[in-house]
Amino acid sequence: MANKLIELCGISKSYGSNQILDDMNLYFNENRFLTLLGPSGCGKTTTLRIMAGFETPDTGKVLFDGVDITNMPPNKRPLNTVFQKYALFTHMNIAENIAFGLKIKNKSKAYIDDKIKYALKLVNLDGYEKRMPDSLSGGQQQRIAIARAIVNEPKVLLLDEPLGALDLKLRQSMQYELIRLKNELGITFVYVTHDQEEALTMSDTIVVMNQGYIQQIGTPEDIYNEPENAFVADFIGESNIISSTMVEDKLVNILGTNFKCVDVGFGQNRPVDVVIRPEDIELLSPEKGIITGRVTSVLFKGVHYEMEVMANGREWLVHSTVMKNVSDEVGLYVDPFNIQIMNKPESEDEEAVKIDA
Protein backbone atom coordinates (compact mmCIF):
# COMPACT_ATOMS: atom_id res chain seq x y z
CA MET A 1 0.00 0.00 0.00
CA ALA A 2 1.30 3.49 -0.90
CA ASN A 3 2.73 5.51 1.95
CA LYS A 4 0.98 8.75 2.89
CA LEU A 5 3.95 11.08 2.61
CA ILE A 6 2.20 14.41 3.26
CA GLU A 7 -1.11 14.88 5.05
CA LEU A 8 -3.06 18.13 5.33
CA CYS A 9 -5.48 17.78 8.24
CA GLY A 10 -8.28 20.34 8.67
CA ILE A 11 -6.32 23.18 7.03
CA SER A 12 -7.98 26.60 7.02
CA LYS A 13 -6.42 29.89 5.96
CA SER A 14 -7.79 33.43 5.71
CA TYR A 15 -6.29 36.78 4.77
CA GLY A 16 -8.39 39.32 6.65
CA SER A 17 -12.02 38.57 5.80
CA ASN A 18 -11.05 36.57 2.70
CA GLN A 19 -11.30 32.82 3.39
CA ILE A 20 -8.82 31.03 1.09
CA LEU A 21 -8.96 27.46 2.45
CA ASP A 22 -11.73 26.00 4.60
CA ASP A 23 -11.11 22.76 6.54
CA MET A 24 -9.10 21.09 3.79
CA ASN A 25 -8.20 17.41 4.25
CA LEU A 26 -5.84 15.93 1.69
CA TYR A 27 -2.93 13.51 1.49
CA PHE A 28 -0.18 12.86 -1.04
CA ASN A 29 1.29 9.42 -1.62
CA GLU A 30 4.95 8.64 -2.17
CA ASN A 31 6.44 8.71 -5.68
CA ARG A 32 3.45 10.34 -7.37
CA PHE A 33 2.98 13.28 -9.73
CA LEU A 34 0.07 15.13 -8.15
CA THR A 35 -1.36 18.35 -9.57
CA LEU A 36 -3.40 21.01 -7.79
CA LEU A 37 -5.57 22.45 -10.56
CA GLY A 38 -8.01 25.34 -10.47
CA PRO A 39 -8.71 28.94 -11.46
CA SER A 40 -6.82 31.90 -10.02
CA GLY A 41 -7.75 32.51 -6.38
CA CYS A 42 -8.97 28.97 -5.69
CA GLY A 43 -6.35 28.32 -2.98
CA LYS A 44 -3.92 26.03 -4.79
CA THR A 45 -0.81 28.21 -4.35
CA THR A 46 -1.72 28.88 -0.72
CA THR A 47 -1.93 25.09 -0.20
CA LEU A 48 1.53 24.69 -1.73
CA ARG A 49 3.01 27.50 0.39
CA ILE A 50 1.58 25.93 3.56
CA MET A 51 3.27 22.64 2.64
CA ALA A 52 6.53 24.48 1.92
CA GLY A 53 6.39 26.39 5.21
CA PHE A 54 6.09 29.87 3.69
CA GLU A 55 2.59 30.22 5.18
CA THR A 56 1.18 29.00 8.49
CA PRO A 57 -2.42 27.72 8.52
CA ASP A 58 -4.95 29.36 10.86
CA THR A 59 -6.14 25.91 11.87
CA GLY A 60 -5.07 22.36 11.07
CA LYS A 61 -1.82 20.42 10.80
CA VAL A 62 0.71 19.45 8.14
CA LEU A 63 2.16 15.97 8.65
CA PHE A 64 5.22 14.60 6.85
CA ASP A 65 5.71 10.84 7.21
CA GLY A 66 3.44 11.08 10.25
CA VAL A 67 5.50 13.87 11.89
CA ASP A 68 3.87 17.26 12.55
CA ILE A 69 5.84 19.90 10.58
CA THR A 70 3.22 22.68 10.75
CA ASN A 71 5.58 25.09 12.52
CA MET A 72 8.86 23.83 11.06
CA PRO A 73 10.77 26.51 9.05
CA PRO A 74 11.03 25.98 5.27
CA ASN A 75 14.78 25.24 5.28
CA LYS A 76 14.31 22.36 7.73
CA ARG A 77 11.62 20.59 5.70
CA PRO A 78 12.57 17.62 3.46
CA LEU A 79 11.13 19.32 0.39
CA ASN A 80 12.09 22.03 -2.09
CA THR A 81 10.08 24.54 -4.10
CA VAL A 82 10.49 25.67 -7.73
CA PHE A 83 8.69 28.91 -8.56
CA GLN A 84 7.42 30.40 -11.82
CA LYS A 85 10.03 33.14 -11.44
CA TYR A 86 13.19 31.13 -11.43
CA ALA A 87 14.84 33.18 -8.64
CA LEU A 88 18.35 32.41 -9.91
CA PHE A 89 21.15 34.54 -8.46
CA THR A 90 22.21 36.72 -11.40
CA HIS A 91 25.69 37.46 -9.96
CA MET A 92 26.50 33.72 -9.65
CA ASN A 93 27.32 31.29 -12.43
CA ILE A 94 25.26 28.11 -12.90
CA ALA A 95 27.50 25.93 -10.72
CA GLU A 96 27.35 28.48 -7.89
CA ASN A 97 23.56 28.71 -8.18
CA ILE A 98 23.17 24.94 -7.94
CA ALA A 99 25.66 24.68 -5.07
CA PHE A 100 24.05 27.41 -2.95
CA GLY A 101 21.92 25.16 -0.73
CA LEU A 102 24.66 22.56 -0.37
CA LYS A 103 27.18 25.17 0.81
CA ILE A 104 24.73 26.32 3.48
CA LYS A 105 24.65 22.69 4.66
CA ASN A 106 28.49 22.71 4.81
CA LYS A 107 28.90 19.88 2.30
CA SER A 108 32.45 19.16 1.07
CA LYS A 109 33.74 20.58 -2.22
CA ALA A 110 34.07 17.10 -3.74
CA TYR A 111 30.48 16.25 -2.75
CA ILE A 112 29.19 19.54 -4.19
CA ASP A 113 31.10 19.12 -7.47
CA ASP A 114 29.69 15.61 -7.92
CA LYS A 115 26.16 16.84 -7.22
CA ILE A 116 26.48 19.71 -9.70
CA LYS A 117 27.57 17.34 -12.48
CA TYR A 118 24.79 14.89 -11.57
CA ALA A 119 22.09 17.60 -11.54
CA LEU A 120 23.20 19.17 -14.83
CA LYS A 121 23.22 15.77 -16.51
CA LEU A 122 19.68 15.09 -15.22
CA VAL A 123 18.36 18.31 -16.76
CA ASN A 124 20.37 17.82 -19.99
CA LEU A 125 22.65 20.82 -19.44
CA ASP A 126 26.07 19.17 -19.09
CA GLY A 127 28.94 21.62 -19.35
CA TYR A 128 26.94 24.71 -18.36
CA GLU A 129 28.75 25.15 -15.02
CA LYS A 130 30.49 28.43 -15.93
CA ARG A 131 27.61 30.04 -17.82
CA MET A 132 25.75 32.99 -16.29
CA PRO A 133 21.95 32.88 -15.88
CA ASP A 134 21.32 35.79 -18.26
CA SER A 135 23.02 33.86 -21.09
CA LEU A 136 20.41 31.09 -20.91
CA SER A 137 16.97 30.80 -22.48
CA GLY A 138 13.85 30.72 -20.28
CA GLY A 139 13.60 26.94 -20.54
CA GLN A 140 17.28 26.51 -19.62
CA GLN A 141 16.90 28.83 -16.62
CA GLN A 142 13.90 26.81 -15.44
CA ARG A 143 15.90 23.60 -15.71
CA ILE A 144 18.68 25.15 -13.62
CA ALA A 145 16.12 26.12 -10.97
CA ILE A 146 14.97 22.48 -10.92
CA ALA A 147 18.58 21.25 -10.76
CA ARG A 148 19.22 23.55 -7.77
CA ALA A 149 16.22 22.03 -6.01
CA ILE A 150 17.00 18.36 -6.70
CA VAL A 151 20.63 18.45 -5.53
CA ASN A 152 19.28 18.82 -2.01
CA GLU A 153 17.69 15.38 -2.41
CA PRO A 154 14.19 16.39 -1.28
CA LYS A 155 11.57 13.70 -0.79
CA VAL A 156 9.05 16.10 -2.33
CA LEU A 157 9.47 18.71 -5.06
CA LEU A 158 6.86 21.47 -5.01
CA LEU A 159 6.39 23.30 -8.31
CA ASP A 160 4.34 26.52 -8.43
CA GLU A 161 3.34 27.13 -12.09
CA PRO A 162 6.98 26.66 -13.15
CA LEU A 163 6.24 26.67 -16.90
CA GLY A 164 3.89 29.65 -16.95
CA ALA A 165 6.44 32.09 -18.39
CA LEU A 166 7.50 29.82 -21.28
CA ASP A 167 6.16 29.81 -24.84
CA LEU A 168 3.86 26.96 -25.91
CA LYS A 169 6.42 24.73 -27.67
CA LEU A 170 8.98 25.09 -24.88
CA ARG A 171 6.31 24.48 -22.26
CA GLN A 172 5.30 21.22 -23.95
CA SER A 173 8.95 20.13 -24.13
CA MET A 174 9.44 20.89 -20.42
CA GLN A 175 6.33 18.86 -19.54
CA TYR A 176 8.05 15.75 -20.91
CA GLU A 177 11.27 16.71 -19.11
CA LEU A 178 9.43 16.91 -15.77
CA ILE A 179 7.78 13.51 -16.30
CA ARG A 180 11.19 12.01 -17.12
CA LEU A 181 12.78 13.61 -14.03
CA LYS A 182 10.02 12.36 -11.77
CA ASN A 183 10.46 8.81 -13.08
CA GLU A 184 14.26 8.90 -12.81
CA LEU A 185 14.40 10.49 -9.36
CA GLY A 186 11.56 8.49 -7.81
CA ILE A 187 10.40 11.44 -5.70
CA THR A 188 6.97 12.97 -5.20
CA PHE A 189 6.08 15.95 -7.38
CA VAL A 190 3.32 18.34 -6.24
CA TYR A 191 2.52 20.69 -9.12
CA VAL A 192 0.34 23.80 -9.16
CA THR A 193 -1.25 25.01 -12.40
CA HIS A 194 -4.40 26.54 -13.87
CA ASP A 195 -3.61 24.91 -17.23
CA GLN A 196 -5.92 21.93 -17.76
CA GLU A 197 -3.87 20.44 -20.61
CA GLU A 198 -0.72 20.58 -18.48
CA ALA A 199 -2.49 18.77 -15.63
CA LEU A 200 -3.96 16.08 -17.90
CA THR A 201 -0.60 15.49 -19.62
CA MET A 202 1.67 15.13 -16.60
CA SER A 203 -0.28 13.95 -13.58
CA ASP A 204 -0.90 10.62 -11.90
CA THR A 205 -3.54 12.33 -9.75
CA ILE A 206 -5.35 15.65 -10.16
CA VAL A 207 -6.96 17.64 -7.34
CA VAL A 208 -9.46 20.11 -8.81
CA MET A 209 -10.02 23.12 -6.53
CA ASN A 210 -12.48 26.01 -6.49
CA GLN A 211 -13.29 28.63 -3.85
CA GLY A 212 -10.98 27.01 -1.31
CA TYR A 213 -12.62 23.60 -1.57
CA ILE A 214 -11.65 20.37 -3.29
CA GLN A 215 -14.12 19.63 -6.07
CA GLN A 216 -12.77 16.26 -7.23
CA ILE A 217 -9.72 14.00 -6.87
CA GLY A 218 -8.87 11.39 -9.48
CA THR A 219 -6.74 10.25 -12.38
CA PRO A 220 -6.70 12.47 -15.48
CA GLU A 221 -9.04 9.95 -17.17
CA ASP A 222 -11.49 10.03 -14.23
CA ILE A 223 -11.50 13.80 -14.04
CA TYR A 224 -12.11 14.19 -17.79
CA ASN A 225 -14.54 11.35 -18.39
CA GLU A 226 -16.41 11.26 -15.06
CA PRO A 227 -16.63 14.81 -13.68
CA GLU A 228 -18.29 15.02 -10.26
CA ASN A 229 -20.08 18.30 -10.93
CA ALA A 230 -20.68 21.02 -13.51
CA PHE A 231 -17.69 23.07 -12.34
CA VAL A 232 -15.24 20.22 -12.99
CA ALA A 233 -16.89 19.37 -16.32
CA ASP A 234 -16.70 22.97 -17.46
CA PHE A 235 -13.17 23.62 -16.16
CA ILE A 236 -11.58 20.44 -17.56
CA GLY A 237 -11.86 20.69 -21.32
CA GLU A 238 -14.91 21.89 -23.24
CA SER A 239 -18.36 20.51 -22.54
CA ASN A 240 -22.01 20.78 -23.39
CA ILE A 241 -23.62 21.08 -19.94
CA ILE A 242 -27.40 20.94 -20.20
CA SER A 243 -30.16 21.08 -17.60
CA SER A 244 -32.20 17.93 -18.17
CA THR A 245 -34.66 15.51 -16.57
CA MET A 246 -33.87 11.92 -15.59
CA VAL A 247 -37.01 10.12 -16.82
CA GLU A 248 -36.00 6.77 -15.30
CA ASP A 249 -32.94 4.55 -15.07
CA LYS A 250 -30.98 4.68 -18.35
CA LEU A 251 -33.26 7.30 -19.93
CA VAL A 252 -32.79 11.09 -19.78
CA ASN A 253 -34.81 13.85 -21.42
CA ILE A 254 -32.54 16.50 -22.94
CA LEU A 255 -34.27 19.60 -24.30
CA GLY A 256 -37.50 17.72 -24.92
CA THR A 257 -36.01 14.58 -26.49
CA ASN A 258 -35.36 11.26 -24.74
CA PHE A 259 -31.78 9.95 -24.92
CA LYS A 260 -30.67 6.52 -23.77
CA CYS A 261 -27.85 6.58 -21.19
CA VAL A 262 -26.22 4.07 -18.82
CA ASP A 263 -26.74 5.86 -15.49
CA VAL A 264 -29.04 4.50 -12.78
CA GLY A 265 -30.12 5.54 -9.30
CA PHE A 266 -31.12 9.14 -9.99
CA GLY A 267 -34.86 8.49 -9.49
CA GLN A 268 -37.74 9.26 -11.81
CA ASN A 269 -38.48 12.64 -13.38
CA ARG A 270 -35.67 14.24 -11.38
CA PRO A 271 -33.80 17.39 -12.54
CA VAL A 272 -30.17 16.63 -13.41
CA ASP A 273 -27.24 18.15 -15.28
CA VAL A 274 -25.99 16.33 -18.36
CA VAL A 275 -22.42 16.59 -19.65
CA ILE A 276 -21.62 15.69 -23.26
CA ARG A 277 -18.11 16.30 -24.57
CA PRO A 278 -17.92 17.94 -28.04
CA GLU A 279 -15.90 15.03 -29.46
CA ASP A 280 -18.60 12.57 -28.35
CA ILE A 281 -21.26 14.04 -30.63
CA GLU A 282 -21.51 12.38 -34.04
CA LEU A 283 -22.80 14.40 -36.98
CA LEU A 284 -24.89 12.18 -39.28
CA SER A 285 -27.45 12.69 -42.01
CA PRO A 286 -30.60 14.29 -40.51
CA GLU A 287 -32.72 11.10 -40.56
CA LYS A 288 -30.08 9.11 -38.61
CA GLY A 289 -29.69 11.49 -35.66
CA ILE A 290 -31.53 11.45 -32.33
CA ILE A 291 -32.21 15.13 -32.94
CA THR A 292 -31.66 17.35 -35.98
CA GLY A 293 -30.03 20.74 -36.16
CA ARG A 294 -28.36 23.26 -38.41
CA VAL A 295 -24.65 24.18 -38.44
CA THR A 296 -24.18 27.84 -37.46
CA SER A 297 -20.36 28.16 -37.36
CA VAL A 298 -17.24 26.22 -38.40
CA LEU A 299 -13.64 26.73 -37.23
CA PHE A 300 -10.63 24.69 -38.35
CA LYS A 301 -8.50 23.77 -35.28
CA GLY A 302 -5.80 21.68 -36.95
CA VAL A 303 -6.65 18.19 -35.67
CA HIS A 304 -10.42 18.74 -35.89
CA TYR A 305 -13.18 21.12 -36.91
CA GLU A 306 -15.00 22.97 -34.15
CA MET A 307 -18.63 23.52 -35.07
CA GLU A 308 -21.70 24.96 -33.43
CA VAL A 309 -25.03 23.35 -34.25
CA MET A 310 -28.38 24.85 -33.31
CA ALA A 311 -30.67 21.97 -32.26
CA ASN A 312 -33.75 21.90 -30.00
CA GLY A 313 -33.29 25.60 -29.27
CA ARG A 314 -29.68 25.31 -28.05
CA GLU A 315 -26.19 25.74 -29.52
CA TRP A 316 -24.28 22.42 -29.31
CA LEU A 317 -20.48 22.48 -29.48
CA VAL A 318 -19.19 19.68 -31.72
CA HIS A 319 -15.63 18.54 -32.53
CA SER A 320 -15.28 16.38 -35.63
CA THR A 321 -12.65 15.44 -38.20
CA VAL A 322 -15.38 15.69 -40.86
CA MET A 323 -16.28 19.25 -41.85
CA LYS A 324 -19.84 20.40 -42.41
CA ASN A 325 -20.75 23.73 -43.98
CA VAL A 326 -22.58 26.56 -42.29
CA SER A 327 -26.36 26.13 -42.79
CA ASP A 328 -26.05 22.34 -43.41
CA GLU A 329 -28.81 20.33 -41.76
CA VAL A 330 -27.38 17.47 -39.66
CA GLY A 331 -28.44 14.74 -37.28
CA LEU A 332 -26.84 14.62 -33.81
CA TYR A 333 -26.16 11.23 -32.24
CA VAL A 334 -24.57 10.47 -28.84
CA ASP A 335 -23.65 6.99 -27.66
CA PRO A 336 -25.38 6.22 -24.30
CA PHE A 337 -21.95 5.62 -22.68
CA ASN A 338 -20.90 9.18 -23.56
CA ILE A 339 -23.76 10.87 -21.70
CA GLN A 340 -22.61 11.78 -18.18
CA ILE A 341 -25.41 12.42 -15.64
CA MET A 342 -24.78 14.57 -12.54
CA ASN A 343 -26.99 15.53 -9.62
CA LYS A 344 -28.13 19.12 -9.75
CA PRO A 345 -26.87 21.19 -6.78
CA GLU A 346 -29.74 22.04 -4.44
CA SER A 347 -28.42 25.56 -4.01
CA GLU A 348 -25.72 27.85 -5.44
CA ASP A 349 -23.71 27.31 -2.23
CA GLU A 350 -23.40 23.63 -3.11
CA GLU A 351 -21.34 24.61 -6.16
CA ALA A 352 -18.19 24.17 -4.04
CA VAL A 353 -18.23 20.79 -2.36
CA LYS A 354 -15.77 19.59 0.26
CA ILE A 355 -14.28 16.15 -0.51
CA ASP A 356 -11.77 14.38 1.71
CA ALA A 357 -9.03 12.44 -0.06
User: Residue 355: inside a domain, yes or no?
Assistant: no
Does residue 158 sit in the same domain as residue 257? no
Please tell me the predicted confidence (pLDDT) of residue 349: 47
Does residue 259 sit in the same domain as residue 300? yes
User: Residue 248: inside a domain, yes or no?
Assistant: yes
Does residue 260 sit in the same domain as residue 322? yes
Determine what percent of the chain is predicted with pLDDT higher than 70: 95
CA pair distance 19, 49, nearest whole angstrom: 16
Does residue 146 sit in the same domain as residue 251? no
Please tell me the predicted confidence (pLDDT) of residue 346: 63
User: Is residue 352 predicted with pLDDT exceeding 60?
Assistant: no
Q: What's the whole-number mean pLDDT along residues 131-147?
A: 86
Domain boundary among the residues 225, 252, 282 is at 225
Q: What's the whole-number mean pLDDT along residues 339-345?
A: 89
| CA nearest to 14, candidates 29, 25, 24 | 24
> Per-residue confidence at 274, pLDDT binned at 50, 70, 90?
very high
Does residue 274 sit in the same domain as residue 319? yes
Query: DSSP for 17-61?
Result: TEEEEEEEEEEEETT-EEEEE-STTSSHHHHHHHHHTSS--SEEE
CB of 202 closer than 8 Å to CB of 178: yes
Could you read off the pLDDT of 211-266 as tens digits, one per residue? 889 999 999 999 998 898 889 998 998 899 999 999 999 999 999 999 999 999 99
User: Is residue 355 predicted with pLDDT exceeding 70?
Assistant: no
CA pair distance 264, 233, nearest whole angstrom: 20
User: Residue 233: inside a domain, yes or no?
Assistant: no
Does residue 221 sit in the same domain as residue 242? no
Does residue 158 sit in the same domain as residue 186? yes
Please tell me the predicted confidence (pLDDT) of residue 2: 58
| CATH number of domain containing 26 | 3.40.50.300
CB of 12 closer than 8 Å to CB of 21: yes
User: Residue 177: inside a domain, yes or no?
Assistant: yes
> Per-residue confidence at 122, pLDDT binned at 50, 70, 90?
confident
> Per-residue confidence at 320, pLDDT binned at 50, 70, 90?
very high
User: Residue 357: inside a domain, yes or no?
Assistant: no
Does residue 82 sit in the same domain as residue 198? yes
Q: Mean pLDDT in the chain?
A: 89
DSSP state, residue 202: H
Domain boundary among the residues 198, 225, 252 is at 225
Q: What's the whole-number mean pLDDT along residues 169-186?
A: 83
Please tell me the predicted confidence (pLDDT) of residue 12: 95
Domain boundary among the residues 199, 225, 251 is at 225
Does residue 77 sit in the same domain as residue 190? yes
Partner residues linked to 15 by β-bridges: 18
Does residue 76 sit in the same domain as residue 146? yes
Does residue 242 sit in the same domain as residue 216? no
User: Is residue 189 predicted with pLDDT exceeding 50?
Assistant: yes
Q: What's the whole-number mean pLDDT along residues 328-337?
A: 97
Could you read off the pLDDT of 277-306 as tens digits, one per residue? 999 999 999 999 999 999 999 999 999 999
Q: What's the whole-number mean pLDDT along residues 58-67?
A: 95
Q: What's the whole-number mean pLDDT along residues 312-323?
A: 96
Tell me the backbone φ, ψ of residue 43, rounded to 5 degrees. Answer: 110, 5
Number of domains comprising the chain? 2
| CATH number of domain containing 298 | 2.40.50.140
User: Residue 231: inside a domain, yes or no?
Assistant: no
Give the range of the structural domain holding residue 63, as residue numbers without chain letter.
Answer: 4-225
Does residue 203 sit in the same domain as residue 342? no
Q: Using alpha carbons only, what angle is made at residue 188 by residues 118 and 184, rounded to the nearest 5 degrees? A: 35
User: Residue 44: inside a domain, yes or no?
Assistant: yes
Tell me the backbone φ, ψ of residue 181, rounded to 5 degrees. Answer: -60, -45
User: Residue 352: inside a domain, yes or no?
Assistant: no
Handedness of CA 318, 320, 325, 331 (dihedral sign): negative
